[in-house]
Amino acid sequence: MTTTHTPQLTLRDAALRVMATGYNGPPAYIPWRPPLQNPTAVNNLIAATTRHHLEIPMGIIDLPYHHKQLPWMVNLTGTTASAAIGGAKQHGKTTFCETLIVSTAATHAPTDAQFFCLDFSASRLVQLEALPHVAGVATRTDVPRIRRTVAELKAIRDRRQTLFTTHRIPGWNTYRQLRTTNPDHPAAQDPYGDIVFIIDGWDVFSTDTWLPDQLKPDHDKFFLPTVEDLLNTGPDHGIHTVITCTRWQSLRGKFRDNLPLKIDLHQADENDAGTDIRIARTVPDKPGRAISTEKQHIMIAAPRLDGQNTIAGIEDTYKHTIATIATQWSGHPTPPKLAVLPAQHPIRQLLDANPTQPTDPRTTRWKIPIGIAESTVGTAILDLAEQPHLLVFGEPGSGKTTAARAIATAITQRNTPQQVIFMIVDFRGGLKGAVPDDYMMVSPRTPFYVRNPKELTQAVQDLEAGLSNPARRTQGRDIVVLVDNWHQVLTADPMAMQGLTDAIMTPESGLHLIATCLASHMTPATNGTRSATGSAWSVGAHALLLSGDKENYYTRAFSFTKRPPGQALYINNSAPRDVIQIGYEPPPEN
């Protein structure tokens, strides 16, 4: 008979067997968390968080002291209202911006948060432009859209500043509350809420290399000062700026000081950091890994809403992300997209939108709509009652004669023949038909549609005699001297219209000089007070600078640049005020 011997289990083995197969208690506490290797999809991150306004889920933060890994939130309010992200190329700066946009769009209504973006890096932000929260994205080669973006943000800030002052609003939080809860308050008319202004690629934007040579002066005169101004005053008016850079050294002075929240990705230079340089050096060479003011390691989330915790194939998810967010906010009001200056806009549409009556005061009738202003994409108005003269300069083909036709149309539409009469100097005949016959000055011996120097001499003499007659003003009519191609007058006789200079320099005379001239002749046209245009310039005439070369005329305040036909820099009192697309008036059909 054979017996089977069963080995006796030791106490240790018996305990291990029970714990492995029959233990139902809590697991042992694990103090160490796995390394931050893969990004979390934004929708997975959102599901694990509770949030307040502008608290945006942006990644996972490792808290080793607490043995935890928790959702990391970016708070664009209070002392961290604007942010800067620095790091080596291809290490997640653009991804951070995409995640910020997607996460904000998934957690905020389109009217509560919007994005205006300058994409100077990978041109990936353009992929998200269709989101209802994204007002517009401008790439580095689209200079007009870049200018419009910056100008629009400045205009929004200015409008809000005015409302704050006029209605004694104590701060942005009060404004935001009034906007959403009091439909009768002017703040409720503001289509935008908190705005995030993203500049992805500050290293490029902060230099003028992206601008054509003709536009390089605008870099230091318009772009950088406006961005600095927005950084300084924007957060108080709901405009937050987020900037990415490869090297922190490119963020100098006030730019860096006004970006309180700083985030370091893997460094491009181990001696260059936005946070604690010692800790910044510990960020591994892995895209998306970062540290911030908490001085703890972070993994930035993946800008996707399909639940896949990876950055791989992100370019294939944009359509799904946009569709998901559009469905989420379906039926909710959508703020307007960024408007740009049109290539052409009929002057008569502007006049129809800004009507006057013959019985209106002169000061109203002589506020002349002339085009679309870049700063507001609204009607640009010239006050020819306060400042009666206008000079238009540009190179051949820039739209000088077309501008003259449009302005003549605007004046005749807002005034009757009993209120204004014209003398036209037009050696080339480009203004034929621009002014109806019943608006033209009449003399039995003098043609006031002047086609040559001889006729000009006689017309000026007769007009000068009429202006010196006190009885003329009792007729109550303004006189417009409309000159096309003033440089031809200069060539024929520089002093041909000298007899009008006293009237030009006397606003009470009722005389308006409106002249077009080649850009290359701007210097002789505006020098001194002996010529008609020089006199007008000396008393602060309005001026429109169409396309031209920088060498044509240059001051520290402004210069010519290449522009599309009909687009001009508006100058008032020798200082630049805005860019205007002048209204278009076609020549009459023969």
263 pLDDT exceeds 70? yes
Q: Six-digit token pair at 506?
A: 């006397």
Give the residue from 205, 246, 213 showing the smallest Cα distance to 93.
Answer: 246
| Average pLDDT, integer, range 101-116 | 97
| Annotated binding-site members for ATP | 87-94
Pick the residue with more confidence: 16 or 274?
Answer: 274
pLDDT band at 10 (very low <50, low <70, confident <90, very high): confident
Give the residue from 157, 245, 232, 159 showing the smallest Cα distance to 202.
Answer: 245
pTM of the model: 0.83
Q: Which pLDDT does position 5 carry in this prediction?
A: 62
Tens-place pLDDT, residues 316-363: 999 999 999 999 999 999 999 999 888 889 999 999 999 999 889 999
| Average pLDDT, integer, range 102-107 | 97
Tens-place pLDDT, residues 133-177: 999 999 999 998 999 999 999 999 999 999 999 999 999 999 999
Q: Six-digit token pair at 495?
A: 């002093």
Number of neighbours of residue 296 by Cβ within 10 angstroms:
18
Tens-place pLDDT, residues 242-259: 999 999 999 988 899 999
223 pLDDT exceeds 60? yes
465 pLDDT exceeds 60? yes
Give the residue from 230, 148, 159, 160 showing the smallest Cα distance to 196.
Answer: 230
463 pLDDT exceeds 90? no
| Lowest mean pLDDT across 161-165, 459-463, 468-472 | 468-472
Tens-place pLDDT, residues 486-516: 898 888 887 888 888 888 898 888 899 999 9
Tens-place pLDDT, residues 294-320: 899 999 999 999 999 999 999 999 999
474 pLDDT exceeds 50? no
- Tell me what the pLDDT averaged over the chain comes to: 90
Q: How would DSSP label each residue in 384-405?
A: TTTS--EEEEE-TTSSHHHHHH
| Annotated binding-site members | 87-94
Give the residue from 576, 401, 578, 428 showing the smallest Cα distance to 492.
Answer: 428
* Ordered domains of the chain (ranges, CATH): 73-297 (3.40.50.300), 347-582 (3.40.50.300)
CB 78 within 8 A of CB 56: no
